[in-house]
Chains A and B, each alone.
Chain A
Amino acid sequence: MEKLSQEQIDKALKILKMPADSKLVTHLNACVHCGLCADSCMYYKSMKEDKFIPARKVELVASLYRRYCTLTGKIAPKLVNARDLDEKMAEEMVDILFGACTLCGRCVKHCSIGVDIAYVVRIGRQMLAAMGLVPATLQATVDAALTTGNNMAIPTEEFVDTIKWMEEELIDEMQDENARIPLDEKDKNILYTLNPREPKFFPLSISAMAKVFYAAKESWTLSSTMYDVTNYGLFNCNDEEAGIIARHLHDEVKILNAKMLVLGECGHGSRANRWEGPNYLGMKYDFDMITVAELINDYIRSGRIKLDKTIIKERVTMHDPCHLVRNGGLLNELRFAVKSAVNDFVEMNPHGNDNFCCGGGGGQLAMSEYNDRRIKIGEIKAEQIRKTGATIVVTPCHNCVDQLMQLNHHYKLNVKIKSIGEIIADALVIEK
């Protein structure tokens, strides 16, 4: 690593010294290094190296805090194990805070005093982002969203062609010339959003949701330009960039005058838009925003769609995306949707709030630099899936879907991975 300039160091330290943020100081001082968090972490469980223990991750940031923000640390740093922010430290922080944490937050639930370890890791990442030290592959994904409006830099024309193609398929399948996938239509009830990997490579999940909207007779639209539900600004931890990306969807709701923003199946995107968005933009949103699983549940409860549980014969399990369940509280909502569509449902152990991450969260899927670790920690998830005996794994997050696809191949699980929209569409009874 090149020598850090004073300007870089100053920018990073400014984040540590944020005067308004007493949360950081509290959590940095609260960790007593008891080590209970160790076995909660997939990295430590898989590789048994001390540097992966969550408390060690907190300590990286805490040691800098002591060095630059406390009197003893400033005068006699060695006495309090305070460390300088130099190249060696920065390299270690990149390797551990970016390269060995999925921000899944499982350690937070296992901490005896509730230290928000994932939050502290995010502060460390913020410092690295301020110094321009975000891993190149992760930053490229953020840059694509900033410059093109979607994280895969899909040109609008190609996106529109794909949607038209899916619409033709829908018309064929429904045998109804009026079946639609509306684009850029104003004054609709719902603006629906996608993960760009759907139009780019996996459009069947788009047609599945179009089929659900068709059955529910929903008034909805997609935007031809601002449809990306992801926000990798949550992972590179550059809040300014995250804010610019969050504004894309906020403004598109206004432009199209939609009543409600429905978040496509994306764990971190749901968090970044629904729970972090107002913080990024420093304002309250004046429209409703829900995840597509909650919307589907409304359809089921109100009888707007009908499902036949006997269509899907296979055993089904579900993977809880960390940001939707542990960090988002949608545990029961996700189960209601899946259990409404299938008969033979089995849980993983553990699941729900204690579930293990797929291993691809926190931007790991985008960061080629740490691919080996990602596949290694994913073995925990693979074995969880294998033990259920299920042949279908449902998960409402396209990032999880991609990681599970790789685990499926690597660990020879021989399962199918589906989104909630896809499993609902499979069980759907279309009444004419």
Chain B
Amino acid sequence: MAQIEFDGDGFLVNPGIWNVDIAVEIAKEDGIQNLTEQHWSVIHVIRNNYLEKGMAPMIRVICKETNLKLREIYELFPLGPARGACRIAGLPKPDGCV
């Protein structure tokens, strides 16, 4: 991934270049060796929300659209929805205490 540029927090500098291979590589850095169907469902909701509205979705939207429970999402992404899931989905780092 040498040619891909990340910010200091490891988020993509140019979210537009995101693809499935990049997601897999970032996930491995976070210790997620295999992205399951459930992982992907979360990633796609986040990605689509970003493309549509320019920001990460609320966790409520992620739960609603994936039918996953809050705790399941925290278990799927140990670093949480922001530094975990949003980073894998190729979003810029959300502002605030995350």
Contact = CB atoms under 8 A, between A and B. Distances in A.
B95 interface: yes
Interface stretch (A171-179, A295-303, A349-357, A401-409): A401-409
A63 B55 CA distance: 43
A152 B94 contact: yes
Residue from B7, B30, B60, B98 with most neighbouring chain A CB atoms (10 Å) = B98
A140 interface: yes
Interface string A118-159: 000000000000000000010011001000000111100010
B93 A368 contact: yes
B8 A371 contact: yes
Interface stretch (A195-203, A277-285, A324-332): A195-203
Nearest to A150: B96
Contacts, number: 90
Among B55, B58, B61, the most chain A Cβ lie within 10 Å of the Cβ of: B58
Count class of interface residues, chain A: 35 or more
A368 B7 contact: yes
Contacts of B96: 141, 144, 151-152, 195-197, 200, 230, 366
Interface string B49-72: 000000110111100000000100
A161 B60 contact: yes
A171 B24 CA distance: 39
A201 B82 contact: yes
A405 B97 CA distance: 12
Interface size for chain B: under 10, 10 to 19, 20 to 34, or 35 or more residues? Answer: 20 to 34
Contacts of A195: 96-97
B15 interface: no
A201, A371, A399 pick with most chain B CB within 10 angstroms: A201
Contact of B59 (A203, A367, A371): A203
A195 B56 CA distance: 17
Nearest to A159: B58
Nearest to A199: B58
Contacts of A151: 95-97
A6 B83 CA distance: 40
Given A144-B95, A153-B55, A405 B8 contact: no
Interface of B: 7-11, 30-31, 55-56, 58-61, 70, 78-83, 93-98
Given A151-B95, A151-B97, A201-B80, 6 more contacts: A137-B93, A153-B55, A153-B95, A197-B97, A203-B70, A399-B97
Interface of A: 137, 140-141, 144, 151-154, 158, 161-162, 165, 195-197, 199-204, 230, 266, 365-372, 398-399, 402, 405-406, 409
8 contacts: A158-B60, A158-B61, A204-B70, A366-B96, A370-B8, A371-B10, A372-B8, A399-B97
